[in-house]
Amino acid sequence: MLIEHGTLPPAGVRLAIQLNNERPIIQVSDGRGGPPILYHGHELNPDQVKSIVVLRGKEARERFQDQKLDAAILIELK
């Protein structure tokens, strides 16, 4: 799980990543900080990010109606 800022999720954690209210991307963590979050085929530059919200467990599953999700990351770009 996403425990605190800077802590990598362990391998096998299922995440929904949503950028600017677009369709979410479902990724499974490799336990080493990857795979990278891509936006239109390119890695995100920190200067592009306006805000990041992390949803855990139940809240993530309810938002995306996916009972296998462990968490979700909502990213708003500038």
How many Cα atoms sit within 13 Å of 14 on the Cβ side?
11
Q: How confident is the model at residue 5 (pLDDT cuts 50, 70, 90)?
A: low
Q: Is 7 part of a structural domain of the chain?
A: no
The residues with which 27 forms a beta bridge, in sequence order, are 15
The 10s digit of each residue's pLDDT in 30-47 is: 888 777 788 888 888 889
**What are the structure tokens assigned to 62, written together?**
């309810």
Domain, as residue range, for 39: 13-77
Closest residue by Cα to residue 69 from 18, 24, 14, 31 = 14
For residue 8, pLDDT beyond 80: no
Rounded mean pLDDT of the chain? Answer: 87
Q: Is 6 part of a structural domain of the chain?
A: no
Specify the pLDDT at position 1: 41
Count how many domains the chain has.
1
Q: Is 2 part of a structural domain of the chain?
A: no
Q: Is 55 part of a structural domain of the chain?
A: yes
Q: Is 33 part of a structural domain of the chain?
A: yes
* Mean pLDDT confidence for 4-19: 82
* Mean pLDDT confidence for 50-63: 95
